Amino acid sequence: MSVVERLSSLDPTSWAILLLIAVALFHVVPYLADPHRIRAYPGPWIAKLSDIWLGKVAADGHRSERVHELHEKYGTFVRIAPNHLSIADPDALQVVYGHGTGTLKSDFYDAFVSIERGLFNTRSRPEHARKRKIVSHIFSQKSVLEFEPHVRAHLIQLFKQWDRLCEGGQKGLSGDEGEGGWRGRDGRVWLDCLPWYNYLAFDIIGDLAFGAPFGMLVACKDSAPVAISAQDAMAKYGKEADYEVEHFPAVQVLNDRGEYSASMGVLPPHWRPLVKRIPWYSKGNQAVQRLAGIAIAAVAKRLASGVTDRRDLLAKLQEGRDDNGNPMGRAELTAEALTQLIAGSDTTSNSSCAITYYLAKNQRVQEKLQKELDEALAGNDDPVAAFEEVKRLPYLEAVINEALRIHSTSGIGLPRVVPAGGLEVCGRWFPEGTVLSVPTYTIHRDKSVWGDDPDAFRPERWFEQDKVAIQKTFNPFSFGPRSCVGRNLANLELLVIVASIFRRYHFVLEKPDAPLETREGFLRKPVECIVGMKRRND
């Protein structure tokens, strides 16, 4: 009798016994054997036995908040999965993420791979060093200044649209769904600012990474061309093929993909092929394919147009050479352009949205910021502030940092694997293979660093608290060799966008007492942010 025949002839009691044996083998035995010596650490009991706890929390969209609650209950060290310890101590950042400690990204990042591994999801140290060498000079301060005209052009486009809506709002008119369903009341236009920040960020990064904006601001619509069934051809041959192109909502695709990959990545690799079949996950898997299709279509279009004199990210990627003088191949070029689209779009838009929410909620702060902007930009009629004019405005910087702290766009503890030889973190030793992370959302609320009111939006704390402690703890872009390579561009964008928008418009919240509702995949994203907006000179 074959094994299958034997199994199918078993009665329910035998099945229950088999199930118990399987649970014991896969969960209880490793727990008791404790290969990573983390049994003594507290955490939810199911998280100690199985990855299901973190899988469920990640899929529910509030991972940072749930892990933060655990740290409030149990203290600095919390076991959030059988082989994953969360350490809420700023001192752990340098060891877990810093240069020279030998930690590597965990298999969490495998769930983010499409086309081929890019700078963000490459786990091999030499492969990462090779890519980072090519990409890092593209984002040097000198280089990103060349991108400023693109940021400026799309902000002007946004102002054209918002000025029109403000005018309509003043007259009490309303707009259709395509424009986010705006309506005029009390001399203001009321709208959800989140989609507009998404259009702005996608057009800027589309322009920079692919050579042309997606046209979302002009069309007031979330839509991008996607190459269909092209990914296999890219993966196998790395060369151009004839792709069928369809249009999909890129922002939605990116949201679905972030939630899918961040939930899939916390599950053991051998579960993933099965879990992919569950309907919610299969929708996310489709998003991964579509996102790759956006990059394939955009890079193919750009390369087909021949030689260009544009000084954008794609041109610089094409010029890049590794240590052997080799340029990137077509598939790698596409994967890196996709990496920049993903990493450089909704990070900026969700952060801009959170900044707008906190300024609209805190009128005193908004007015103080506007005073600083009016003085610094007095006599300048240009609607868009130059980076040079706003790069050293102390209150503007404090406002942006305070919003990045409290909202924590990148809030989850980014998982790293302890290297051979083990690692000592905050006085505790961990053997090779243990997964460690430092939850940014939680250390951004550490009272010993930020003061007794960490949940309040108060930019003044940046002038009051200990500068060294702040510098050690503030972690929006992570630390070390895998920290954000696009940080200079993100800074430039946020400074220019926030300064220009708040100099031009005044914002109030529709529901001033309501918290900012969020949903977290890899990033903590606002769900919506309804504001009443008007031109300041009206």
Binding residues for heme: 484
Torsion angle defined by CA atoms of residues 287, 291, 292 and 293, in that order, rounded to the nearest 10 degrees: 100
Among 231, 255, 347, 362, binds ligand HEM (CB under 6 A): 347
Does residue 171 contact residue 184 with C-beta atoms inside 8 Å? yes
- Residue 188 or 257 with smaller CB distance to ligand HEM: 257
The span from the CA of 467 to the CA of 464, in Å, is 8
Residues 6+ apart with CB under 8 A from 191: 165, 179, 180, 181, 182, 183, 530, 531, 533
Choose one: 276-284, 453-461, 477-485, 508-516; the region binding ligand HEM (CB under 6 A). 477-485
Residue 77 as a binder of ligand HEM (CB under 6 A): the answer is: no
Residue 334 as a binder of ligand HEM (CB under 6 A): the answer is: no
- Site of tokens 């529709």: 510
Among 211, 344, 411, 532, binds ligand HEM (CB under 6 A): 344
Choose one: 230-238, 335-343, 425-433, 497-505; the region binding ligand HEM (CB under 6 A). 335-343
Residue 293 as a binder of ligand HEM (CB under 6 A): the answer is: no
Does residue 189 contact residue 534 with C-beta atoms inside 8 Å? yes
The span from the CA of 118 to the CA of 112, in Å, is 9
- E strands, 158-309, are 183-185, 188-192, 224-228, 244-248
Return the sign of the alpha-carbon dihedral for residues 40, 41, 44, 47.
Answer: negative
Residue 255 as a binder of ligand HEM (CB under 6 A): the answer is: no
The span from the CA of 527 to the CA of 164, in Å, is 25
Residue 353 as a binder of ligand HEM (CB under 6 A): the answer is: no
Among 490, 495, 496, 498, binds ligand HEM (CB under 6 A): 490
Among 103, 231, 356, 410, binds ligand HEM (CB under 6 A): 410
Among 103, 255, 261, 409, binds ligand HEM (CB under 6 A): 409
Choose one: 174-182, 219-227, 346-354, 464-472; the region binding ligand HEM (CB under 6 A). 346-354
Report in angstroms how near the CB of residue 177 gets to ligand HEM at its nearest: 29
Report in angstroms how near the CB of residue 190 gets to ligand HEM at its nearest: 26
Residue 478 as a binder of ligand HEM (CB under 6 A): the answer is: yes
Closest residue to ligand HEM, based on beta-carbon distance:
486
Between the two ends of the chain, the Cα-to-Cα distance in Å is: 85
DSSP designation for 527: S
Residues 6+ apart with CB under 8 A from 26: none
List residues forming the annotated binding site: 484
Residue 412 as a binder of ligand HEM (CB under 6 A): the answer is: no
Report in angstroms how near the CB of residue 255 gets to ligand HEM at its nearest: 16
- Residue 166 or 291 with smaller CB distance to ligand HEM: 291
Among 414, 423, 425, 509, binds ligand HEM (CB under 6 A): 414
Residue 362 as a binder of ligand HEM (CB under 6 A): the answer is: no
The angle that helices 487-504 and 193-210 make with each other, rounded to 10 degrees, is: 140
The span from the CA of 263 to the CA of 417, in Å, is 18
Which one, of 236, 155, 223, 252, lies nearest residue 505 by Cα? 155
- Residue 53 or 210 with smaller CB distance to ligand HEM: 210
Residue 196 as a binder of ligand HEM (CB under 6 A): the answer is: no
Residue 482 as a binder of ligand HEM (CB under 6 A): the answer is: yes
DSSP designation for 177: G
Strand arrangement, sheet containing 183-185 = 183-185, 188-192, 530-535, 505-509
Among 50, 231, 289, 340, binds ligand HEM (CB under 6 A): 340
The angle that helices 279-304 and 193-210 make with each other, rounded to 10 degrees, is: 50
Residue 442 as a binder of ligand HEM (CB under 6 A): the answer is: no
Q: x-or-dash pattern for ligand HEM, window 112-131, by CB under 6 A? A: -------xx-----------
CA angle 109, 111, 116 (to 5 degrees): 85
Name the helix (H) or strand (E) containing 77: strand 77-81
* Binding residue count for ligand HEM, defined by CB under 6 A: 23
The span from the CA of 174 to the CA of 181, in Å, is 7
- Residue-wise over 209-233: b if at least 16 C-beta within 10 A, else e? bbbbbbbbbeebbbbbbbbbebbeb
- E strands, 426-517, are 428-430, 435-437, 505-509
Residue 526 as a binder of ligand HEM (CB under 6 A): the answer is: no
Residue 261 as a binder of ligand HEM (CB under 6 A): the answer is: no
Q: And the tokens for 247? A: 């249009």
Residue 339 as a binder of ligand HEM (CB under 6 A): the answer is: yes
Report in angstroms how near the CB of residue 137 gets to ligand HEM at its nearest: 13
Residue 70 as a binder of ligand HEM (CB under 6 A): the answer is: no
Among 351, 362, 370, 473, binds ligand HEM (CB under 6 A): 351
Residue 349 as a binder of ligand HEM (CB under 6 A): the answer is: no
Q: And the tokens for 65? A: 């908040």
Among 476, 521, 526, 532, binds ligand HEM (CB under 6 A): 476
Residue 484 as a binder of ligand HEM (CB under 6 A): the answer is: yes
- Residue 97 or 243 with smaller CB distance to ligand HEM: 97
Residue 417 as a binder of ligand HEM (CB under 6 A): the answer is: no
Does residue 282 contact residue 129 with C-beta atoms inside 8 Å? no
- In terms of DSSP bridges, do strands 84-87 and 435-437 run parallel, antiparallel, or are they unpaired? parallel
The span from the CA of 268 to the CA of 458, in Å, is 41
- Residue 120 or 243 with smaller CB distance to ligand HEM: 120
Residue 132 as a binder of ligand HEM (CB under 6 A): the answer is: yes
Contact positions vs ligand HEM (CB under 6 A) = 119-120, 132, 339-340, 343-344, 347-348, 351, 409-410, 414, 476-478, 482-486, 489-490
